Chain A
Amino acid sequence: MILSALAFYLFAGIAVLSGLMVITARNPVHSVLFLILAFFNAAGLFVLLGAEFLAMILVVVYVGAVAVLFLFVVMMLDINFAALRRGIRQHLALGLAVGIVLLAELVIVVGAWAVAPEVAAHTAPIVNSAVTATNTQALGAILYTRYIYAFEGSGLILLVAMIGAIVLTHRARAGVRRQVISKQISRSRAETIEVVKVPTGHGI
């Protein structure tokens, strides 16, 4: 088991370090690249826990899609991040407050189990480790039965958010000539080509 412990400290250490680099890197693109590294190591931690499905989904969704968009935005917008940094004094208090609240919540959640073990009874039961079903089957079996309303509800919220984003950003521009393929291929020969007999020396 020494190998998995070593792997844990490797992944966790790199994740924490790259998390630090995200907020300290001078170049915003480097920040996003470190964020990707942090995601990647979190996926490694999931694999160590035996949650390979979650690990892969983390990579596909966060690294493969979300972070690409981050990178896109950071590269495209020519933001002067040095100028943004100058306001750090006035935002420091707010940032610290948010950080402290988050930390306190984490401590309360974990501390409650340590102080009063009966609290743990209120959480969802831990899946019996003797269950032989793979990750994917176990998740599917619980997601589509016990948590079906929460699952469908979150799906609906995402759908509404997507439609909202399209409605807010879509604008019909005037004067854009679009290619209508059906129009192009429905032309007949008669309306496109006319063969004329040109008398020599006269022109049309």
Chain B
Amino acid sequence: MANFLTDYLIPFAWILGGIILTVACLMGGMAYLTLFERKVLAKIQLRIGPNIVGPFGLLQPIADGLKLLTKETIIPSGANRAVFILAPMMTFILALTAWAVIPFNQYMVLANINVGVLFLFAISSLGVYGIIMAGWASNSKYAFLGSLRAAAQMVSYEVSMGLVLVTVLLCAGSLNLSQIVLAQSHGWFGVSWLPGWYVLPLAPMAVVFFVSGLAETNRSPFDLVEGESELVGGYFVEYSSMTFALFYLGEYMNMILVSAMTSILFLGGWLPPLNIEILNSPYLGPIWFVLKTIFVLFCFIWVRGSFPRFRYDQLMRLGWKIFLPLSLGYLLLVAFVLVYMGWLPKVA
């Protein structure tokens, strides 16, 4: 049984350690994202933001978490108990699962699978279930309407998101996220130190992806799902305490995930801004990756501070009548250019 130790236990311990580390970092990042959002929004609106709890309000997320923990979990009497409890858990677990395939640098990735992009796409398409189940199980018309909106919205925007992913993988020639990042490491015009990120040649697609990401995570200006002015609180009206917190955290986790996806697909993941030897160290990789993710997250919050909420028909119009033809057309254009110029990536 000697090889049982080396074959199973040690790899298992490594994977478990990686998972715990990732989850811990994510939880911390998520908690401080809420503070970051409140601070940025406050600055946009010429306020100060949370500054009482701890220095510069740095302990505010902990206070918020404790408050939610100590509240009572209320299950409405007409609710479908099992599904009601399952829905927030599912949202949160799915938001965590997706991080298994995100590469932090060339070597730091939990599961370097060949279909990483598809895995992320599959997990994000599952996210809608948490919301639908919550809306249905709450046995409340506001929650139900909110979840129906969410389902239609997420299914609509997934289509253009999928086409954007196809464009990226046409350029990269792989569904593996690490390969996609490495495909962006060659500079432009034969100059090797320029960043060869896909945001330059695929700029319209990057915008479509970012906006679809806003819609996919139900963020403002597409937060009709929880539109408080018409639906009270949307799909999670009936939730309280930790069940509510799980939804709330899941939303922020999805935000970080979409930002990380944007930085991997379009901003070159762990690659440095200038491809020179000293910046290219594998230790700096996660730092570049986190900086890019924070930049995209800032854009998320910036959009929230700047734009009013879309009306439902405008949302559907944007998704189906503008983004879908645009991304299809650009996909054809990219395919044409790649074939015509002979730039198609070589597959092994």
Contact = CB atoms under 8 A, between A and B. Distances in A.
B217 to A, nearest CB: 16
Q: On chain B, which size bracket covers the interface?
A: 20 to 34
B128 interface: yes
B214 to A, nearest CB: 19
Given A53-B115, A68-B155, A179-B314, 6 more contacts: A27-B80, A60-B118, A60-B125, A64-B128, A64-B158, A71-B129
Interface in A36-83: 36, 52-53, 56-57, 59-60, 63-65, 68, 71-72, 75-76
Nearest to A67: B129
Interface in A71-130: 71-72, 75-76
A64 B347 contact: no
Interface string B115-129: 100110110011011
B128 A68 contact: yes
Interface class of chain B by DSSP: helix
Given A52-B113, A179-B313, A63 B151 contact: no
B348 interface: yes
A5 interface: no
Interface in A122-160: 132-137
A165 to B, nearest CB: 15
Interface residues of A, number: 27
Contacts of B211: none
Contacts of A30: 83
Q: Which 5 A-B pairs have the closest CB atoms?
A: A64-B125, A56-B118, A59-B122, A134-B114, A60-B122
Contacts of B83: 29-30, 33
Contact of A53 (B118, B128, B158): B118
Contacts of A198: none
A133 B348 contact: yes
B313 A57 contact: no
B30 interface: no
Contacts of A136: 114-115, 175
Contacts of A3: 8
A139 to B, nearest CB: 11
B92 interface: no
A75 B348 contact: no
Given A29-B136, A53-B115, A60 B175 contact: no
